[in-house]
Structure 1
Amino acid sequence: MALYTVARFGLVAIVAALLMLAQVPVLVAIAVSVVVVMPLSLLVFGRLRRRVAIGMAERTEDRRQRREQLRAELRGDAPADAE
């Protein structure tokens, strides 16, 4: 997730720098680059975005399973793990 975020910020900086080289004011260049990078990052960082989405889905599933296990233990349906 952090790598994807850093990559998007880097792309914003690159696009803003290119716009500033074309004599666009700094604030306008940053605003335009943020808007342009949103859809552009979907194309450029597609593989990285999919890896982040898969990782988030796996963590969500793990949390759901742990929550269900805890609920079952609280109901008395499943024995607690021996530690």
Structure 2
Amino acid sequence: MSGSRPVARLVADVLVYVAARLVLVAVLTGVIFAGGHLLGVREFPIVVALLFAFVIALPLGIWLFRPLRERATASIAALDERRRADREQLQARLRGEDPKS
């Protein structure tokens, strides 16, 4: 089925972007946690490191992963355009018009 290819591309692009953002949070969590230990804070909670990592990763991920985000956005736009064209074709058929092929 030719309709599954844009969907598969969309899913792949979005999963790559999400995975990259999650890896960034994991790396930042490790850096913050290790930094706390290097500074002598032996009982540094991992949850605090994770929360700081989330806050830092939000703007950093937007900047670092811009090409991935743009590719995912382009995939979403292509799928939306295809759905719009399919919907217009269906509405033309329902009105009894000769749909554009």
TM over 0.5: yes
Q: Distance in 1 between matches of 2:68 and 2:29?
A: 22
CA RMSD of aligned residues (A): 1.6
TM-score by length of 2: 0.74
What are the equivalent positions in structure 2 for 1:19-58 lying under 5 Å apart?
19-23=32-36, 24-58=44-78
The equivalent of 1:65 in structure 2 is: 85
TM-score by length of 1: 0.89
| Shift, 1:74, TM fit | 0.9
Letter in 2 for 1:16: T
Identity of paired residues, percent? 36
The equivalent of 2:96 in structure 1 is: 76
> Is the partner of 1:77 in helix, strand or coil?
coil
The equivalent of 2:22 in structure 1 is: 9
Q: Distance in 1 between matches of 2:77 and 2:55?
A: 27
Q: Distance in 2 between matches of 1:17 and 1:58?
A: 37
> Is the partner of 1:22 in helix, strand or coil?
helix
